[in-house]
Amino acid sequence: MTPQESLHHRFEALQNHDYSAVYQSYHQDSPLHHQFADSATYAAFAEQQLSDLILTSWRCLAERTLSTDQVECLLQIDFELAEESHRLYELALLIRCDGQWYYHSAQKLPAEDLSGHEDDIGFEHFDNNSEKIRY
C-alpha cells in the first residue's frame, strides 16, 4: 500500500465517522497514541469532538521522501462545520512500519492564514513556519 492509499483509507474512515479505524491509522509512536491509550477512549472523544465535522474532500498536492520509511504529504482538506465551509492545508508525516504506512502527525495551516495565492502552496509554507506544532 502506498502513502496515498493509506491516506485514502484514513479519510474514508473520517467521512464515515469510523473513529476506531481512524485510531488504527495512527503510528504507534504518534502524539495521538500517547494521548489516548486505546481506540475506545479515542472513539468516545472523537464522537464528542468530531461528529459535527463533515469531510467534503481532500487531495494530496505533493509528496516528499524523508527516508525509505518516512514521507511527508502536503494535503488540501475541505470540510464543513456548523454549516460553514472550511479549507485547511496539512503537512502530514507518514511512517512505514511492517510494510504499512501509518499517519504519525501533521502541521496544519488554515487557508485564511496562508500567505500568497492558494495555488502556490508548497512545502516551504510549512518549512518556513516558525510554529512547527505537530498534532
**d(Cα 113, Cα 133) in Å, to the nearest integer?**
15
Whole-prediction pTM value? 0.92
Q: Which amino acid is at 79?
A: F
Is the C-alpha dihedral spanning 59, 19, 52, 108 positive or negative? negative
d(CA 38, CA 24): 9
Nine-digit cell string for 66: 524523508
pLDDT one-digit tens code per residue, 6-26: 999 999 999 999 999 999 999
* pLDDT single digits (tens) 43-100: 999 999 998 999 999 999 999 999 999 999 999 999 999 899 999 999 999 999 999 9
Class at the top of the CATH hierarchy for domain 3-127 = alpha beta
pLDDT in tens, 25-44: 999 999 999 999 999 999 99
